[in-house]
Amino acid sequence: MDACETLKGYSKLVEYMRQNIEEGYSDEDAADKAIESCINEGLLKEYLLQKRGEAKLMLLHFDETDLEKSLEEEREEERELLARSIERIRAGATGEELLSEGIDEKTVEFALKYA
């Protein structure tokens, strides 16, 4: 799973948790409903199916400041990877070379577009 999809999934999971609490669900029910919503939408599906209990605990005990910090760190890593990929393409690397090095397809597509 690439980093963008993971970020999207975590963001949506937390968003659903917040919405469910605002709608009056208990914390436990809000977490269960948020997890089910993500699974049904295919967001973090495999992870949530395998580690549902851990995900629920995370939702029940997460510190929003820590989560925002973690998400920002992941965004920064993605920006740095994209910048390095653009530099490599400008220096003559091909998209296939970047893919073979494990750089995800979406990053390669953006790098090729903006190089």
Mean pLDDT, the chain, as a whole number?
89
Question: For residues 36 and 34, what is the distance between their CA atoms, to the nearest angstrom?
Answer: 5
**Residue that finishes a domain, picked among 37, 62, 87:** 62
Co-location of 49 and 73 in the same domain: no
Lowest mean pLDDT among 73-77, 80-84, 96-100: 73-77
Please state the rounded mean pLDDT for residues 102-113: 94
Residue pair 86/111 in contact by the 8 Å Cβ criterion: yes
**Residue that finishes a domain, picked among 44, 62, 80:** 62
- The pTM score is 0.57
**Residue that finishes a domain, picked among 62, 88, 104:** 62
Co-location of 14 and 56 in the same domain: yes
Where does the pLDDT of residue 1 fall: very low under 50, low under 70, confident under 90, or very high at 90 and above?
very low
Instruction: Read off the pLDDT of residues 59-73 as tens digits, 9 standing for 90 and up.
Output: 888 766 776 777 788
